[in-house]
Structure 1
Amino acid sequence: MSEASAIAGEENVEPLGVKMTTVTAEGTAQKLDVTLLGIRAGGWLMPAVTEGNALSPQAPGMVLADRKLKDAGIALGSVIVDQASGLKWTVGGFVSQESFSHSPAVFLGAEQWAQLQRMSAAARPKAAESGKSSDGANYSAIAVKANKELVSKLAAAMPTVELVSKSDAVSAIPGYKEEQGSLWMMIVFLFVIGSFVMAVFFYVVTIQKTGQFGILKAIGTRTAYLARSVALQVLLLSTASLIASALLVRAIEAFLPGSMPFQLHLSTLGLTCGAFIAMSLAGSLLSVWKVARIDALDAIGRAAA
């Protein structure tokens, strides 16, 4: 870690320890699977605290816990016990949306992490010297804020250390790629199915109005005008339904429990709505094609019959 700090600057380097374990609230038998994350108090890896106090060297026994643990009965001031090492920590604050491999995160300061390392039966391999901090504790990784030039310097100075980007590190989480692949497949199929359903719906509506379109053509209405009218109706209906759907989703989100991993950013919602509107307009081309092929006399004859 000292080599990385010398190259990238001490303010741009933070140690990160990762350990999955089981804890219990003192006085209870309920076991909770969590991921212990060792960080430096006050560093840029420390998440924003939503309730309670942040990690501080002046409170070495305090830890931060994800809000999901509140549903399991953990509150501010609760003492949690690590089943592997027997160490006890007091929950001094809560953070939001912080988990690792579907397990809620518990953030430890440097002193707690060093103590955990000394108590842990599974010792770190000696080859991982680059993961040592100034206090001698072994960490799983070193987080570095660096540009391409600094990355090249780090690679040259520490040839035995594996350098990975943040996105690659996230992808390496067990099960992440498989879950993302399944989710993207479902999302793509939903878009494809949705586009077919909308195209067929508007096509059926257009067929039902064949007689009306024929009459309009017979009195001199241009096909281009009818095509614009169909496309505008599709746009208005699609926009209105998407607005209603977005409001419904937001209303449901407000009632979901905090333990449910649901997060819908405005950017994602906007892109999804834009994609559905584009697909609606693309599907309306089938209806426009049908309108363009309507024979006025034939349509009037069928309407009269």
Structure 2
Amino acid sequence: MKIAIQEILKNKLRYSILGIIILLIAFLTLAISGLARGLSYDNASLILDMPEGTFYMEEAAEDKHNFSAISDVQINNLNDAHDNMTLMSIQMGEVEDSSGQAHSLVFVTSEGHEIFPKAAQNELLLDGSLQDEGIQSGEEVSTRLISDNLTVSGFTEQQTYSHSPAAFIHPNDFSELVQSDASQIVFVEDEAAAIDGLTAYSNDEFLNTLPSFSSEQMSLNMITYFLYAISGLLFAIFFYMINVQKLTTFGILKAVGVKTITLFKMMWTQMILITIIALGIAVGISQLLVMVMPDAIPFQLTWEVTLFTSAVFMIIGFIGATLSGIQISKVEPMYAINQGGA
């Protein structure tokens, strides 16, 4: 370890460049991970905050909740198979406040188990983001599809669906809104049961029925995977070039009895030191970003994600450095002697 540190200190510029590159890639990976998690929660916090269970939709709806209509017979069959059902319906729409300003939102109604807040008839419970847009508690709002005005009775915290704030509404008002009494979705905190005419989804499977959710997360995750791959290649290329320059030195060390594993340990020590320092700075900057990021930008970076990302970088760095060290095991003491003679 002492020799590894001495070499880093002797070649400060060379190892600093690698450290800065790893720092930048690690910071970018953490930032994208925070953005992906923030966008995920902003897209579907309504579903993400629900307990693990099973969602049911009409099979003919082909994974589109707004085309689903679960019959009374199917609800009875579900009631026989499960306890504490929640009947849900979701509809995109908009309301106009008292000043005539339109606000896009998603109407949500539920019956049964107390998963969502309940609104009284002719009342609305709105996501808190709409309060920032100027809507006040007690204010009357209107929508073209409901004859009576609706009174805002309160606000919820971070309840969104498809990047739209949720508006919890009474089932009777929702029936007037969509001109149907049928529920679109049934949720149970239980494993799936086979019900004729219904398709069962886990929480993750139901989230993936949102086109914006799956495509958004896939794009951001793909960028993250590429950054991991780039970091591994950087380690491999950097240490390969360093090792090629030191083949004569490695041969001499082998000639005096230094084992190959000792040379690998020296390289691993350098990789670990550089990565730890780079990750430490990247994590510090990313956590500072969490504190200063404005609320308008959906950004969530938990310590679980941070530690996982750091562990992946350590593993990838170890693999890249190890692959680059293959020539260390192949170099022979005679090579160093011949090179020295030349």
Is the structural similarity TM-score above 0.5? yes
| Corresponding position of 1:116 | 174
Partner deviation per Cα, 1:151-183 (whole Å, 9 max, x = no partner): 13xx1xxx2344333333222123333334333
C-alpha separation in 2, matches of 1:115 and 1:161 = 26
C-alpha separation in 2, matches of 1:294 and 1:174 = 55
**Secondary structure, counterpart of 2:165 in structure 1:** strand
Letter in 2 for 1:275: V
Tell me the CA shift for residue 22 of structure 1.
Answer: 1.6
C-alpha separation in 2, matches of 1:39 and 1:17 = 7
| Corresponding position of 1:163 | 200
C-alpha separation in 2, matches of 1:287 and 1:81 = 67
Letter in 2 for 1:231: W
Larger helix share, 1 or 2: 2
Letter in 1 for 2:88: L
Q: How many residues align?
A: 267
| Corresponding position of 1:103 | 164
C-alpha separation in 2, matches of 1:28 and 1:212 = 79
Partner deviation per Cα, 1:31-75 (whole Å, 9 max, x = no partner): 32211111248x4422xxxxxxx5465x9624131x433443345
| Corresponding position of 1:181 | 218
Q: Is the 8 A contact 1:101 1:174 kept in 2?
A: no
1:74-153 equivalences in 2 (<5 Å): 74=135, 76-77=137-138, 79-85=140-146, 87-96=149-158, 98-108=159-169, 112-118=170-176, 120=177, 122-124=178-180, 137-148=181-192, 151-152=193-194
Residue number among 269, 290, 296 corresponding to 1:253 in the alignment: 290
Letter in 2 for 1:92: G
C-alpha separation in 2, matches of 1:300 and 1:88 = 90
C-alpha separation in 1, matches of 2:129 and 2:340 = 63
Change (3 A) 1:254 1:77: farther
Letter in 2 for 1:187: T
Greater relative contact order, per chain length (Cα 8 Å cut-off, separation 6+): 2
Structure 2 unmatched ranges of 5 or more:
1-74
Residue number among 6, 16, 19 corresponding to 2:88 in the alignment: 16
Tell me the CA shift for residue 253 of structure 1.
Answer: 1.8
| Corresponding position of 1:69 | 130
Q: RMSD of the TM alignment (CA)?
A: 3.3
C-alpha separation in 2, matches of 1:196 and 1:35 = 45
Q: Is the 8 A contact 2:124 2:167 kept in 1?
A: no
C-alpha separation in 2, matches of 1:140 and 1:226 = 64
Change (3 A) 1:234 1:147: same
C-alpha separation in 2, matches of 1:83 and 1:202 = 67
Change (3 A) 1:268 1:304: farther
1:233-272 equivalences in 2 (<5 Å): 233-272=270-309
C-alpha separation in 2, matches of 1:248 and 1:13 = 45
C-alpha separation in 2, matches of 1:279 and 1:209 = 23
Residue number among 98, 102, 117 corresponding to 1:26 in the alignment: 98
Change (3 A) 1:166 1:113: same
TM-score w.r.t. the length of structure 1 is: 0.72
Tell me the CA shift for residue 209 of structure 1.
Answer: 5.0
Q: Is the 8 A contact 2:146 2:173 kept in 1?
A: no
| Corresponding position of 1:283 | 320
| Corresponding position of 1:134 | none
| Corresponding position of 1:50 | none
Seq. identity, %? 22
